[in-house]
Amino acid sequence: MKRQVPLVLCFVFGIVMIFTQFSPHSFSQWTYQEVISWALIIGPFALVLATVTLIQTHTARIRRRTEHWQYSFVVFAGLIIMVLIGIFLKPQNPMFEWLYNNVQLPMDATMFSLLAFFIASAAYRAFRARTFEASLLLITALIVMMGNVPIGDLLSNDTASKARQWILDNPNLSARRGIILGVSLGVISQSIRIILGIERSYLGGGD
């Protein structure tokens, strides 16, 4: 029950999904569509579970008074306000949109923009031409960076953007292709192992 059934389920669903892709029969197509919509239904449950875990973690932090435990209340406040307004007034409600546009959106964008600062700091402290390979990476990066902005063309008489385009189109493309081919083989081989029940680590440890 604990190990065999999941392995069988995994096998059956995997094989069915493979088969339906080789079969244009209307029954296969119907099955395909139906199972796809199941995956859409199962998804939200996982999200709710993740939220429950989040709530548990923060409740534990408050209970144990770990460092900065007061901020866990801020997490709850954000969560509850968003959920209450969203559920009762629907996501199209102006109040919900206001919260999204003025609270979530600016914070999300700002968080990621912090990386611009870190890149600059890393550029000064960490990016060193220590080896031949590292130098190649650095030089390409500099060319692409300059090719990505108009000032590069202004300083180099239009060669920067052409060089960037050539690099992206040629050596970059073949490297990507090599990676795509290799990683895809890895993904397919893992998928085969999963369907055949050889790879079981997703079941976690225990019996």
Partner 1 sequence: MPNIDRRIVFILVALAVIIPMLLSVNLPVSVSEPTQKFYDYVEALPAGSTIMVAFDYGPSSLAELNPMAKALLKQCFDSDIRVIGITLVVDAPTLASALIQEVAAEKGAVEGEDYVFLGFRPGAVQVILGMGTDIASVYDTDYNGTAIGEIPMMQNITNYDQIDLLVDFASSDTVESWIIYANVQYNQQIAAGVTGVIIAQMFPYLQTGQLVGLLSGILGAAEYENLVGAPAKGMKWINVESFVHLLIVGLVIIGNITYFIHRTREE
Partner 2 sequence: MIKIIQWLAICLVLCLSVGTAFSQGLAPPSNVTAVDTPNDDGSSITITWDAAVEGGGISGYQILRRIADGELEAVGDLLPVGTTTYVDSGIEQGTAYAYIVRALSETEATVDSEQTAPVEGKDEWFHTGKIPLFITMLLFSAAIVWNIYSARSGKELFVRRIPGLEAVDEAIGRATEMGRSILYSTGLGGVSGVATIASMTILGQVARRTADYETVLRVPCRDPIVLNVVREMVKTAYLEEGRPDAYNEDDIFFITESQFAYAAGVEGMMLREKPAAIFLQGTFYAESLILAETGNSVGAIQIAGTDSEHQLPFFIAACDYTLIGEELYAASAYLSREPMLLGSLRGQDWGKILIFTAIVLGVVLELSGVSWITMLLQRVS
Partner 3 sequence: MDWNLIGIWVAAFLTLSIYSVLYRDNPFYRFAEHLFVGVSVGYGIVLSIYQGFIPFAWNPFFAAVTGESAIGFIKLIPICIGLLFFARLSPRHTWLIRYPIAILIGFGAGVAIPNVLRANIFEQTRGTIAPFAEIAAGTLSGWGIFEAVLMVVGVICTLTYFFFSVEHRGPVKWLSKVGIAFLMIGFGSAFGNTVMGRVALLIQRVDFLLNDWLNIIS
Q: Give residues 72-91 in contact with partner 3 (rule: CB under 8 A).
A: 72, 74-83, 86-87, 90-91
Q: Closer to partner 2 by CB, 8 or 119: give it.
A: 119
User: How many other CB atoms are found less than 10 A from the CB of residue 160?
Assistant: 23
Whether the CB-CB separation of 11 and 195 falls below 8 Å is answered with yes
Q: Does 154 bind partner 3 (CB under 8 A)?
A: no
How far apart are the C-alpha atoms of 123 and 132, rounded to whole Å?
Answer: 18
Q: Closer to partner 1 by CB, 146 or 195: give it.
A: 146
Residue 33 binding partner per list partner 2, partner 1, partner 3, none, with a CB distance cut-off of 5 to 8 Å that depends on partner kind: partner 1
Query: Taking Cα atoms as reference points, which of 187, 207, 189 lies closest to residue 198?
Result: 189
Residues 6+ apart with CB under 8 A from 202: 194
Residues 186-205 that bind partner 3 (CB under 8 A): 187-188, 190-192, 194-195, 202-204
Chain Cα centroid distance, residue 139 = 29
Q: Which H/E stretch holds residue 145?
A: helix 132-147
Least CB distance to partner 3 at residue 197 (A): 10
Ramachandran area for residue 201 (φ above 0: left; ψ -120 to 50: alpha; else beta): alpha
Q: Does 181 bind partner 2 (CB under 8 A)?
A: yes
Q: Does 171 bind partner 2 (CB under 8 A)?
A: no
The DSSP code for 203 is G
How far apart are the C-alpha atoms of 194 and 9, rounded to whole Å?
Answer: 11
Q: Closer to partner 1 by CB, 70 or 135: give it.
A: 135
How far apart are the C-alpha atoms of 8 and 2, rounded to whole Å?
Answer: 11
Binding mask 27-46 for partner 3 (x = CB under 8 A): -------xx-xxxxxxxxxx
Binding mask 3-42 for partner 2 (x = CB under 8 A): ---------------x---xxxxxxxx-------------
Residue 86 binding partner per list partner 2, partner 3, partner 1, none, with a CB distance cut-off of 5 to 8 Å that depends on partner kind: partner 3
Cα distance between the two ends of the chain: 10
**Using CB under 8 A as the criterion, which residues of the chain lie in contact with partner 2 when the complex forms?**
18, 22-29, 50, 53-54, 57, 111-112, 115, 118-119, 121-122, 125-127, 133-134, 137-138, 141, 179, 181-183, 185-190, 192-193, 196, 198-199, 201-202, 204-205
